[in-house]
Structure 1
Amino acid sequence: MSITTKKVLGNFAFYFGNTVIAIIFVSPLVWMISASLKPEAGIFRGMNELTTFLPTDASLQNYIAVFTRIDMMKYILNSLFYVFVIVALDLVVNSVAGYALAKFDFKGKNFLLTVVISLMVLPIEAIMLPLYKQVADYGWVNEWASLIIPFIAKCFSIYMFRQFFMDTPDELLEAASLDGCGPMKTFLRIVVPISGTVYATVFILDFVAHWNDFMWPLLVVTGEEKRTVQLAIQTFFASPPIHYGPIMAALTISAIPMLILFLALQKYYVEGIASTGIKG
């Protein structure tokens, strides 16, 4: 077998395998969108056939039902507000922390980095109850502060920024220092403009994590005024009658911002993951 033939077969196997994996991952999303356009009686019909992915008798009645039964737009705006505030503060606070760990030498730096890496493996479920008690003691229950403040500083974001900034040439920073730039001015004018990939990566990861968050908002949001989109979707399961058409429509609506965000920033996301050396 010639080298050219091996190369062609290798490329075919690579793209075929990736195509199969993509179909496996995308098919639930396609089915959800299709189900959201079907009448209730047709959602689970023919589940063992490929036609289940086709929106037969398509209509927008399920989407109309979503906005009729609950104030869906209000809950979407609530989620967008608190998620974007968290993400914005995350990018500011954690990028500065990551830059300090990457480029500054100070006492206790290695210990602090060890703590950051160690805390990355601590799941939120392990600290959720003591965190809730702390929030309740501050009187933040059912306040925006309870949704935002506990999640501004993130060890994973700090580590990602640190890994990216480690590759920033020291010569570039030294040149800025010789031109009279202080540490913060150098960071804002030199480092930030060339770090778009890592900022986009952290932005996407943070947005998806908090947009999909359900458990923490369920604990701290006690009224409808600050209800998030994920809590709103849960009302379709808790309030009879339970119809799966509106549920699929609500899930589709909640997935749209994430799809738009990822499609718009996927190039930077891939580059950011590659440049920080983090694999997931």
Structure 2
Amino acid sequence: MNMDQGKTSRHSIKKVKRLKKWLTYLVMSLLAIFFMFPIVFMLMSSIKNNEYQVVTDMSSLRAFLPVGELGFQNYKDVFTSQHFGHVMFNSVFIMITTVVIGLFVNSMIAYALARLRFKGKTFLLSSIISLIIIPFESVAIPLLVMVNHLPWFGGETSWLDSYHVQIIPFIADAFSIFLFYQFFIDIPKDLEEAALIDGASHFGIYWKIVLPLSKPIFATVAILQALNSWNRFMWPLMVTRGTDVRPLTVGIQSYFGQDPRLWGDLMAFASLITIPVLIVFLLFQKWFVRSVASTGIKG
């Protein structure tokens, strides 16, 4: 009898676990569908060629369905516009430059904090962590005043309306440094100590030992910095005047407040802004998930 009761109890526990598992999947699927609504609406609207169809479909589920006159004329209109190619180049250039230099700078700072001993290390680390909670909006105006008076090569007396004003202030990032630091302190010190005994420098250890072991965190920081750079709007709007150095997020403004017939073009423009971000995430997804799992970051 006891054996039968034990089997029944184990069977009941398995059923409860299975039920919880399926309920979790169901809730996650419903949340995914809910958050996909804006993206689906944007993509469906971008292929509707009828000039007023995007507006008229907003009052029904037709807004999320590929119905009506469909095609890629909206995308052709965007690609043939005068400034799309240029602002696309600006966004890609600013994002790649910020991410590549930022990965090197932030990882070097984090490695120094994680492995080197120097006075003021604890204070410096605490200051970097405290910077994470300060919103950029609170320092945007002081930063604007500062860069407006900084010199540049060639005798320029202002950084405004340039690429470097959109890159340099965002290379060193407090949250990226913190992520690198959390990852580096978990790397065993045995290999580094053996390399130091063999005469290796700290930079040589960082370059030849730490970097190959840190691919997951580099992918994570690359994704986060790429997203921040690609989606940045307020700062480029403040520091640029024309379309010469403006990114896509500011360039899309040219469609606002215009004829409702351009809503299809606007949705196509928005889709072209979103697609590169999805591509970046898909390319680094494996490393991103591995880094989140290894560092215990809760999202």
Q: TM-score range by the shorter chain?
A: over 0.9
> Match of 1:42, as an amino acid?
Q
**What is the distance in 1 between the residues matched to 2:185 and 2:249?**
37
Q: Which of 191-200 and 60-69 deviates more?
A: 60-69
Q: Residue 154 of structure 2 aligns with which residue?
A: none
Tell me if structure 1 keeps the 8 A contact 2:83–2:243.
no
**What is the distance in 1 between the residues matched to 2:198 and 2:53?**
69
**What is the distance in 2 between the residues matched to 1:69 and 1:81?**
20
List gaps (5 residues or longer) in structure 1. Answer: none
Out of 41, 52, 67, the position equivalent to 2:52 is: 41
* 1:48 Cα offset (Å): 5.5
1:213 matches 2:232 = yes
* 1:179 Cα offset (Å): 2.6
Tell me if structure 2 keeps the 8 A contact 1:35–1:43.
yes
Tell me if structure 1 keeps the 8 A contact 2:183–2:295.
yes
Q: Residue 112 of structure 1 aligns with which residue?
A: 124
Q: What's the secondary structure of 2:89's corresponding residue?
A: helix
Q: Residue 219 of structure 2 aligns with which residue?
A: 200
**Residues 145-187 of structure 1: per-residue CA shift (max 9 Å, x gap):** 2111111111111101000001100112112222321110000
* 1:49 Cα offset (Å): 4.4
Task: Give me the CA root mean square deviation.
Answer: 1.5
Instruction: Give runs of aligned pairs for residues 228-239 of structure 1, distance below 5 A.
Output: 228-238=247-257
* 1:28 Cα offset (Å): 1.1
Out of 143, 149, 155, the position equivalent to 2:174 is: 155
How many pairs does the alignment contain?
279
1:63 matches 2:75 = yes
Out of 22, 28, 39, the position equivalent to 1:18 is: 28
TM-score, with normalisation over the residues of structure 1?
0.95
**What is the distance in 1 between the residues matched to 2:80 and 2:164?**
30
* 1:279 Cα offset (Å): 2.8
> Match of 1:151, as an amino acid?
F
Q: What's the secondary structure of 1:69's corresponding residue?
A: coil
> Match of 1:124, as an amino acid?
F
Q: Which of 124-133 and 34-43 deviates more?
A: 34-43
Q: Which of 99-108 and 206-215 deviates more?
A: 99-108
Q: Residue 3 of structure 1 aligns with which residue?
A: 13
> Match of 2:83, as an amino acid?
D
> Match of 1:264, as an amino acid?
L
Q: Residue 277 of structure 1 aligns with which residue?
A: 296
Q: Residue 253 of structure 1 aligns with which residue?
A: 272
* 1:68 Cα offset (Å): 3.0
**What is the distance in 1 between the residues matched to 2:38 and 2:163?**
33
> Match of 2:32, as an amino acid?
A
Q: What's the secondary structure of 1:6's corresponding residue?
A: helix
List gaps (5 residues or longer) in structure 2. Answer: 1-10, 151-157
* 1:270 Cα offset (Å): 1.8
Tell me if structure 2 keeps the 8 A contact 1:163–1:277.
no
**What is the distance in 1 between the residues matched to 2:246 and 2:77?**
19
Q: What's the secondary structure of 2:161's corresponding residue?
A: coil
Q: Residue 184 of structure 2 aligns with which residue?
A: 165
**Residues 19-50 of structure 1: per-residue CA shift (max 9 Å, x gap):** 01111111210111001111232214444644
Q: What's the secondary structure of 1:200's corresponding residue?
A: helix
Out of 35, 39, 50, the position equivalent to 1:29 is: 39
**What is the distance in 2 between the residues matched to 1:209 and 1:187?**
26
Q: Residue 5 of structure 2 aligns with which residue?
A: none
TM-score, with normalisation over the residues of structure 2?
0.89
Q: Residue 90 of structure 1 aligns with which residue?
A: 102
Q: Residue 199 of structure 2 aligns with which residue?
A: 180
**Residues 204-252 of structure 1: per-residue CA shift (max 9 Å, x gap):** 00111110111100011112211211111111115x3342111100000
Q: What's the secondary structure of 2:137's corresponding residue?
A: helix
**What is the distance in 2 between the residues matched to 1:130 and 1:46?**
45
